A = this chain, B = another copy of it.
Amino acid sequence: MKLSDIAKATGLDYSGDGSIDIRGVASIDDATEGTLAFLADPAKKEELMLSGASAFILPEGVSCEGKPYMVSNRPLLAFADVVGLFYPRPQPKGVDARAIIEEGVSLGDGLSLYPNVYIGRGASIGDGVSLYPGVYIGPGCTVGEGSTLYANVVVNEGTAIGKRVIIHGGTVIGSDGYGFAWDGTCHRKIPQVGGVVIGDDVEIGANCTVDRATLGNTIIKRGSKIDNLVMVAHNCVVGEDVLIVSQSGLAGSAKLGDNVIIAGQVGVAGHLTIGDGAIIGPKSGVTKDVEAGAKVTGYPPQPHREWMRIQNTIQKLPEMRKELRALHDKIERLEKENHEA
C-alpha cells in the first residue's frame, strides 16, 4: 500500500515521499524496512533515528528528517486506523456443516460458524456473528450482529449479548451465582434463575466468569472493556465505558457507574456502589461505597495520595519504633532529673 493511499484512507496529512510502499505496521523498536511505526510521546523523538521503519505517524509538532511521515494529534488512534487497513475484518466463513444447531434457532446472514459450535434451541444469532470452535450458546440466548465469540466461550441459557461484542476464549457467561443458605445441616442452593445482559461494543477477555443473577439480570453496559480472568458476580451492574483490569473481582450486587476504572487484582465487596468516573488502584479491597470521581487505593481504600503517603510512612515504621523507645528513655531521664532537682 502506498503511503499516500494510507494517508488518504485515514484522513491524515503526510510529508515526504508518498509513493513508498508500506507492507505492514510495527513497533518503533522492532520495525524493519517497509513498515510504518508510530511515536506517541514527543519526548522520545530520538527513537525515530534508530528505528528501521520506512515511515511514521508522529504527534503534532514532531517531524522526521529523511523519512516520510504522517501527523496526528492522536497518534495512537491514527495508528489503530492504519492497522485496521492492514488487518481487515476477515470474510465470513459461512456455516460449517459440523456446527451443531438445535431446533428453532434464528440465524442471520454473513455468519462464521465454525465446526463444533453448539447453539441451543431457540437461540438467535445476528448478522455477521463469528462463533469459533467449541463455543456453546445455551437455549434461547441472543447474540447481536457483528459479535465475535472466540474458541470455547460458554454462554449459558438466559444471556442476551449486544452488537459488536467481543468475548475471548474460555470465558463463561451465565454460570450460577454463588448463593447458598445454611439450613442447619448443609448449605442449600438458592436457585439462580436470573440472566445476563451484555450491552453493545462490550469486550470481555479470556477465561473470565460472569454469573447469572439470582433473579433479574447481571448487567454489563455498552462500551465496557474487561480484561482476562475477571469475575463479575450475580446481580452486578457494570456501567457504560467501564474498564476492569485483569484478575479483579466484583462480589454479588456490586454496582459500578459509568466510566469507572478498576485496576488489576482489585476486589469489590458485595452490594457496594462505585460512582461514575471513580478510579480504583491496583490490588485494592473496596469495602465501602466510592464517590463519583474519587481516586482511591488500598484495603480499605483511601484517597490515592493519602494511600501513597501512608505506604511511604509504613516503610519507616521500624525506625519510628526505635525513635519512640529513645524518646521514652529520654523522658524517663528527664523525669528523674526533675524529681532529683
Instruction: Give A residues with C-beta under 8 Å from B.
Output: 25-27, 29-30, 74, 76-77, 79-80, 83-84, 86-87, 98, 100, 114-116, 118, 132-134, 136, 150-152, 154, 156, 166, 168-172, 175-176, 178, 180-181, 183, 186-191, 193, 201, 203, 205-209, 211, 214-216, 223, 225, 227-229, 231, 233, 241, 243, 245-247, 249, 251, 264-265, 267, 269, 282-283, 285, 299-300, 302, 306, 309-311, 313-318, 320-321, 323-324, 327-328, 330-331, 334-335, 337-338, 341
Contact = CB atoms under 8 A, between A and B. Distances in A.
A327 B327 CA distance: 8
A170 B170 contact: yes
Contacts of A114: 118
Given A228-B231, A231-B246, A314-B310, A206 B27 contact: no
B241 A267 contact: no
Given A175-B205, A183-B77, A228-B178, A193 B30 contact: no
Given A168-B172, A313-B321, 19 more contacts: A27-B216, A30-B215, A87-B193, A100-B115, A100-B116, A100-B133, A116-B134, A134-B152, A150-B156, A156-B169, A170-B170, A178-B228, A207-B207, A207-B209, A245-B251, A247-B247, A327-B328, A334-B334, A337-B338
A187 B311 CA distance: 32
A228 B205 CA distance: 15
Contact of A206 (B152, B172, B302): B172
B249 A267 contact: no
A206 B27 CA distance: 31
Given A151-B154, A313-B317, A178 B205 contact: yes
8 contacts: A150-B156, A178-B227, A180-B225, A227-B231, A231-B247, A267-B282, A283-B285, A327-B328
A317 B315 CA distance: 11
A314 to B, nearest CB: 6
Contact of A249 (B87, B180, B229): B229
A118 B29 CA distance: 35
B246 A27 contact: no
Contact of A265 (B171, B228, B249): B249
A181 B77 contact: yes
Contact of A190 (B76, B175, B214, B241): B76
Given A152-B134, A152-B136, A267 B264 contact: yes
Nearest to A83: B191
Contacts of A249: 229, 246-247, 264-265
A39 B323 CA distance: 49
